[in-house]
A and B are shown apart, each in its own frame.
Chain A
């Protein structure tokens, strides 16, 4: 990765995302955060502008972007509101299993409608009984002729209440753990699918989250992705693709925190001068800037590795883990720079801390990321 600059094309994508973030997302961010409102109008506008199905190849009508391109966009969106961003990019996560495991016919029939009109999809992996231990999932898929019957419950499902399609991971035999996991997709109006109430969250409050229950939901065998038992690998490879943009999301939060803190430090006076002239504040800002910069470069590096056909497991785990931890530190310090005002909801920085927290947890908790990092690391010395 010798060239750290963005291409003119990437710059224009960045500009589009920045403009969208400033004009459509930022003005609604505080209100949606306060009310826990899912801004459907923002989602539709994001879809119209082509900011939603970033990873879908152009042959199905998507944007067909590489991961670096996606990261550039996601960072800009998250600068305005991480919650909305999570909802905007949820289609990328939900549809990636189809890209990875689908036949050409499945891709054509499922992906094309998402690009020709506005639809949301949800990725249903996590269960109430376990998140990080995906091999232990309990949702059952029982073969019945040319159908599977699905029973079980998924939780923390982003866009669950608004999605028209779910990609679901279920096991044909829990004893066999990850060897028996299958990936399916099914329309929300399938009989036996019920959506639970919306969760009240600490942050990411503009994003909509719910449980999704399956009770004797019948899925045609034709809706299975890959072979029986391919599900675990599809899930893990999906997360390999989508982990890096979470680094970009965290970078966006951190950059927003740094921007707010720096602008405030220049304007706020104590002891007869702007607080930006106090070294205590300068040191904070300098540390924050280092975190932001490192987060961005680690994220771009991971994305670049994957765009160049490498697995990028180590790099993407480092990027996601570092950037989300950094976003917590930076948002925390931004509140400190604002002092009492930072603790008030009238100012935008306390939201950043609440939003950053989720980035340490979802799409593979940072503890899991560290296990992955250690495993990849030690393999090189073994």
Chain B
């Protein structure tokens, strides 16, 4: 099976978020970018599928600027991906998910008959757009929120589960397919030290931005423009709920969460 994983370098979880000088985007200065979250699950899933099917290879692709993208690709190679492609863009470009999908689609190139895995949303912008956009560009079906991919050899079918509202959906599909991964059902593996050392020397195919622009033409610009990047105001202490009975307290809280905080599902 031909397995492609698309990953995006994102700030590590502990990053202190700060707006940049334009107040339009995250200030990347001093931020450590990593392979994380759903993307990590996608890589893990790719490797598990590779290990359970004969003759599979995993190619990891990432669209992003230097040096973070190369680092994330090397991390994926250290985990066990067989080859890596870096679709480069200038560091001042702020792409959106659709442009990312276009650039990755360009790098995948040709009629695609395998499996593409990616996180069901990125760890920073959290759009959940990429898988669908890439599927449409490659003209293959796509779905997100997937876990537990299994390859059924005799029939050449992939089975998976989708963790969606209200429960777990069982899905069966043939290839080609683009899948956005929910979290892995187990902890993603950690790269071993010798593999990290080897990954430092691995060859990484690099597609320069100029080449991507030449292929995409007028589509090589983001369809969305980032205008502001704001941090929430600091906390000032709880609004204490006064109540007559536990039921009253519960009703007040649910109402506040719904109407004021707007977090109630």
CB pair A16–B193 under 8 Å, yes or no, is yes
Judged by a CB distance under 8 angstroms, whether B102 is at the interface is no
Instruction: Give B contacts to A, CB under 8 Å.
Output: 34, 67, 71, 74-75, 78, 190-194, 196-197, 199-200
> Can you list 17 A-B pairs with a CB-CB distance of less than 8 A?
A8-B200, A9-B197, A9-B200, A12-B71, A12-B75, A12-B196, A12-B199, A13-B196, A16-B191, A19-B190, A20-B190, A23-B190, A48-B192, A50-B193, A50-B194, A51-B193, A63-B194
Q: In the complex, what residues of A have CB within 8 A of residue B199's CB?
A: 12
CB pair B192–A50 under 8 Å, yes or no, is yes
CB pair A49–B193 under 8 Å, yes or no, is yes
CB pair B71–A63 under 8 Å, yes or no, is no
Q: In the complex, what residues of B have CB within 8 A of residue A49's CB?
A: 190, 192-193
Q: How far is the CB of B226 from chain A (nearest CB, A)?
A: 28
List the 4 closest A-B pairs by CB distance, nearest first.
A50-B193, A9-B200, A50-B192, A12-B196
Report the nearest A residue to B74, measured CB to CB.
Answer: A12
Q: Kindly state the separation between the CA atoms of A9 and B34 in the bound complex, as whole angstroms.
A: 15
Q: In the complex, what residues of A have CB within 8 A of residue B196's CB?
A: 9, 12-13, 16
Could you tell me the dominant secondary structure of chain A's interface residues?
helix
Count contacts on A: residues with CB < 8 A to the other chain: 15
Q: A9-B197, A58-B194 are in contact. List 5 more A-B contacts (CB 8 A).
A: A12-B75, A13-B193, A15-B34, A49-B192, A50-B194
Q: How far is the CB of A220 from chain B (nearest CB, A)?
A: 32
User: Contact mask A22-37 → B, CB, 8 Å, 1/0?
Assistant: 0100000000000000
Q: Kindly state the separation between the CA atoms of A19 and B74 in the bound complex, as whole angstroms.
A: 16
Q: How far is the CB of A211 from chain B (nearest CB, A)?
A: 33
Report the nearest A residue to B195, measured CB to CB.
Answer: A50
Q: In the complex, what residues of B have CB within 8 A of residue A8's CB?
A: 67, 71, 74, 200
Q: In the complex, what residues of A have CB within 8 A of residue B191's CB?
A: 16
Q: Kindly state the separation between the CA atoms of A49 and B74 in the bound complex, as whole angstroms.
A: 17
Report the nearest A residue to B67, measured CB to CB.
Answer: A8
Report the nearest B residue to A19, measured CB to CB.
Answer: B190
Report the nearest B residue to A54, measured CB to CB.
Answer: B193
Q: In the complex, what residues of B have CB within 8 A of residue A58's CB?
A: 194
Q: Kindly state the separation between the CA atoms of A178 and B199 in the bound complex, as whole angstroms.
A: 46
Q: Kindly state the separation between the CA atoms of A15 and B197 in the bound complex, as whole angstroms.
A: 13
Q: Kindly state the separation between the CA atoms of A48 and B194 in the bound complex, as whole angstroms.
A: 10
Report the nearest A residue to B78, measured CB to CB.
Answer: A12
Q: How far is the CB of A69 from chain B (nearest CB, A)?
A: 9
For window 17-72 of A, CB contacts with B under 8 Å fall at 19-20, 23, 48-51, 58, 63
Q: In the complex, what residues of B have CB within 8 A of residue A51's CB?
A: 193
Most A Cβ at <10 Å: residue of B192, B193, B194, B197: B193
Q: In the complex, what residues of A have CB within 8 A of residue B197's CB?
A: 9, 63
